[in-house]
Structure 1
Amino acid sequence: MSFRRIVHIDMDAFFASVEQRDFPDLRNKPIAVGRAETRGVVAAASYEARRFGVRSAMPSITAKRLCPELIFVPPRFDVYRAISAHIHSIFTRYTPVVQPLALDEAALDLTDHLAPFGSATRIAEHIRAAINAETGLTASAGISYNRFLAKLASDQRKPNGIFVIRPKDGPHFVAALPIDRFHGIGPSTAKRMNALGITNGAELRKAELHTLMQNFGKTALFYHNIARGIDERPVNPNRIRKSLGTEQTYLEDLINLESCTEALEFLARKLWLQAESRNIQARTLTLKIKYANFQQITRARTLSEPFSSAEMCLDAALSQLNPLFPLKTGIRLLGLTLSGFADSSSPQLNLNFS
């Protein structure tokens, strides 16, 4: 049986590492790329900051509380995009089958492109060396026989490491993995799985497919397969993203306009930070609401011109939220999604701050 050779390349604390590279006085210090505003969002954190628990997509006020010495650095997305383009050009020296997943991340299919190196591991080492020599930055690499496992492998030796999950080891590796470390299973889904007694890959493997479908709908088959180390998704160099969204499930239901407005302000800033990083221009914003009784509704607003700020996104979201008050039941989830991308945007980049 033949297996694919997939490499997942993930830059190490990309935005923060660029800032530390360009400004020596920031090196070896805890920094966060973002703005130290009350409703600000951390776009990336240096490894020095991560030791305090600071993470990307965290509210700036929370990050500052965890690390009082944290230094906030305004993002320079034009610089990050230029470096990302250089890094992605390095990938194409080794294979044309490259799927950008973010400015700092990509999947490469080397199955038919191993010559003259002979192995995916050797190619991954050459790529990492080229990135470091040409940009002064480090990258971690994961190698496996499918995209899911290659992504997991890229996290195993961070920063500046490489890890291989071979076909015979894939199912065993997944079995021991905690559910909250599965790529593609977020905190909300992990919590629901925990409630079903599923805390790791072995327990997910034991779950019946029909049980997963009852609880997780169309994504159940994906969960069923990855618990067995199976992922048939191809590396698609022509993938075009049609929307960009973020959402949050709340520990306590939101019951008044003030708390909902505060929650939407954070989501709008987080979404706009992601849109800026991709240089995305979008004309439609969709508000998603899931009530405490699990009823779900969406409301959309389309402008004649693209959204140009977090404040515009927030205004559009509030214009759709306000008519729903007073609430009959609390809100357990809010989400915002941008779509209707303009031709000049780069929607193929699905940024996951890391």
Structure 2
Amino acid sequence: MKLHHDYDLSHANTMALTCTAHTAIELFDTADITPAITYAKLNSLPLLVLSGGSNVILPNKLKACVLLPRFNGIHTISKSDTHVLISAKAGENWHEFVQTCLDNGWYGLENLALIPGLVGACPVQNIGAYGVQVSDFIEKVIAYDLTTGTQCEFKNAKCQFTYRHSLFKDNPNRYLISEVIFKLHTSSDHVQSNYGDLAALSLKLAHQDNRKTIHPKDVFNAVIAIRQSKLPDPKVLANCGSFFQNPIISMAQFTSLKTQHASLPSYLIDDNNVKIPAGWLIDMAGLKGGGIFPILTHRLQALVLTNHTPHIATANDIQKSQDFIIDTVHDKFGVQLVREPVWIDEQGYHA
């Protein structure tokens, strides 16, 4: 492991917020975890696990010991005629892992291409896109309980996955995920491409190769094209991806809104609930490209908040713009937006 004091985290979060940690420890092996826990206890420092920094809002000062997992490795556990079990270490880049899966004929994750972050963070938020959630393919999560220093294994059901939620999100600072086991298809027949613009573009890519059937690689390439056309690259314009969850509202409220706003898109959850796009609500509230400087919604995708003064802006700037957007949308539609990124306070706790 590698120990740092007064560690600059402004380049370790994709929102590029200024943040200095009291202590940071890079973990290169799971054997580093126990001594890191011991160090934090001896110095009376709370622990905070920071993965790729793509879904967090960090404070200006972090009076904590930040653990930075650097575990790497991908390998096949077992394979049948229909499925393959794949192990991926927490420090693997998520998009590159999805690419590796496709290259090896392991299918299912292609809808989640180009989502920023590391493999270890994907179960926490139960990342999802274009009709797919990562929990659809997680077999098991291997983590360390930071309160006891012991290794734990969580099968899918025990992870308590729901929309953008999990057991790990409900127990912040308790678990350090070291490895995720995925169960993926070995056949290219299982394609999810019927979400929004994805179907038409996937089919177009297939036709370019004189094929009538959509391949997972068509979905992968279509997702990349769509995301690149709508979403800013965090390396170019600081952001943490989708900032607000898509609201799930009652059928009664949806019916009322649809009467007033005929163009409102929707995705049926069940007979009583409907999911509507937060980006549409923000856009129709006149806030695409708006907010409170330096934190503004993206001019092409209102769901994304962008930082126009990277390494200068702070969490307070995020708070002002976030509250302004939430209040404006609620005043116009009566719908309460919910923030997606995790908010961290100065002690390293999830606020």
TM-score normalized with structure 1 length:
0.31
Which one has a larger percent strand, Structure 1 or Structure 2? 2
Which one has a larger percent helix, Structure 1 or Structure 2? 1
TM-score normalized with structure 2 length:
0.31
